[in-house]
Chains A and B, each alone.
Chain A
């Protein structure tokens, strides 16, 4: 994965707000993964258009966090999600 990678949510995965707990969840066959607020922010931007660089910049925007720290967290998270088949790392 590089800064120019354009991650896309896997076809089987769907983001939703749990109407009871009011938390973001990622649904896939027979699974429901409760997401942290930042995880949901990242996945909502995995549209196959935005690059990792742009996703990181959007998340860092308006916060005190340094872009390089945010980028490192975004990359680590996306790698884990790709390993679990929830995100596709296209070109």
Chain B
């Protein structure tokens, strides 16, 4: 199969992170291996960036874990800019000194996306599993002072989704040019925590209306982006714009994936840039080819007029919820297994239910008050 052109490289530089959000996109089974031996070296990342640029990639997302945990982040930014990539740092902002942000800006960082968990320290810090809100506010102020374009990213769930207008107002105060309101996608840690995180249908409807209002109010000033939870959509989201199609994802040890979660699907052979070049892996690799095109699709997907719109939804979700990675995404209302999603929504209407967050390497806790 001829490989499509990728436009974006998502470089997960490390799984190390001082935060422990209950919807973390990192794998559930992180073994405590020494990062010095597992993570790619500076040179290995630089080679991956070169190969990505050769494939046609124009956007680079430096993410993790917390990318600031990499001491060579400045060197990686400089390399990426030398390749004329648009370099976006996706960060919790912890820990980030003014000197380091100045150095990153000088190295050519194009934009910074800062995550905040809620609009106040008390609630935000419970979700993050660590005290960090006030520090994030300082980081946002530094970004503004250095004129680094700032996206404020807030992951939405049942404990904070009632505050969409307040979140956007926080973005305004911080001088963000973009506010991303991204509903949790229920994979990995988020799926383990789904009962504690999934909002009710009423909450979603109110949040959607509030986001539309804010978007209209701030048109031309701040871009307000609302990413719907596919548990409340009629059709699945176009996960990654299609499997191994426009996004190429490299995890800390160099394994090349179509998305951050694809290792959760057993039986797929993914390769590392340590063994073969990113160019070769992208063009021809069994794991990446597995769900390209539509030959893998069962019905109702294969004959569906939307298959070029949503590309059959999310393979990781199909596997996590049905045990079959080729199944129709249960988030789709046309899926024969859609009852799985309806059952999760029913749980979300039960306010009396006891809920707890499970964290990476922390004791579980009760969610903050809505």
The interface of chain A, by Cβ under 8 A from chain B, is 10-12, 14, 16, 18-20, 25, 27-30, 32, 82-85
7 contacts between A and B (CB under 8 A): A10-B177, A11-B148, A11-B149, A12-B110, A30-B59, A30-B88, A32-B86
Q: Would A29 and B111 be within 8 Å (CB), given that A18-B58, A19-B56, A85-B221 are in contact?
A: yes
B113 partner residues in chain A, CB cutoff 8 A = 29
A32 near B58: Cβ-Cβ < 8 Å: yes
A14 partner residues in chain B, CB cutoff 8 A = 86, 110
Q: Does more than half of chain A's interface fall in helix, strand or loop, or is it mixed?
A: loop
Q: Which residue of A lies closest to B86 (CB)?
A: A27
A32 near B59: Cβ-Cβ < 8 Å: yes
Q: Classify chain B: how many residues form its interface, as a range.
A: 20 to 34
Is B299's beta carbon under 8 Å from chain A?
Answer: no
B232 partner residues in chain A, CB cutoff 8 A = none
Interface residues in B27-82 by Cβ distance below 8 A to A read 53, 56, 58-59, 61
A12 near B111: Cβ-Cβ < 8 Å: yes
Interface residues in B108-141 by Cβ distance below 8 A to A read 110-111, 113
Interface string of B1-22 (1 = CB under 8 A from A): 0000101100000000000000
A27 partner residues in chain B, CB cutoff 8 A = 58-59, 86, 110
Chain B's nearest CB lies how many Å from the CB of A89?
10
B86 partner residues in chain A, CB cutoff 8 A = 14, 16, 27-29, 32
B58 near A29: Cβ-Cβ < 8 Å: no
B7 near A29: Cβ-Cβ < 8 Å: no
B59 partner residues in chain A, CB cutoff 8 A = 27, 30, 32
Interface string of B191-227 (1 = CB under 8 A from A): 0000000000000000000000000000111110000
Is B147's beta carbon under 8 Å from chain A?
Answer: yes
Interface residues in B275-300 by Cβ distance below 8 A to A read none
Q: Does more than half of chain B's interface fall in helix, strand or loop, or is it mixed?
A: loop
A10 partner residues in chain B, CB cutoff 8 A = 149, 177
Chain B's nearest CB lies how many Å from the CB of A87?
10
A11 partner residues in chain B, CB cutoff 8 A = 147-149, 177
- Closest 4 interchain pairs by CB? A12-B149, A27-B86, A20-B56, A29-B111
B7 near A16: Cβ-Cβ < 8 Å: no
B149 near A32: Cβ-Cβ < 8 Å: no
B5 partner residues in chain A, CB cutoff 8 A = 20
Is B84's beta carbon under 8 Å from chain A?
Answer: yes
A85 near B58: Cβ-Cβ < 8 Å: no
- Report the bound CA distance from A43 to B61 in whole Å: 25
Is B178's beta carbon under 8 Å from chain A?
Answer: yes
B149 partner residues in chain A, CB cutoff 8 A = 10-12, 28-29
B219 near A29: Cβ-Cβ < 8 Å: no
B223 near A25: Cβ-Cβ < 8 Å: no
B177 near A12: Cβ-Cβ < 8 Å: yes
Is B185's beta carbon under 8 Å from chain A?
Answer: no
Starting from the known contacts A16-B84, A27-B59, A32-B58, 18 additional A-B residue pairs (CB-CB under 8 Å) come to: A10-B149, A10-B177, A11-B149, A12-B110, A12-B177, A14-B86, A16-B58, A18-B56, A19-B53, A25-B58, A27-B110, A28-B149, A29-B88, A29-B113, A32-B86, A83-B219, A85-B221, A85-B222
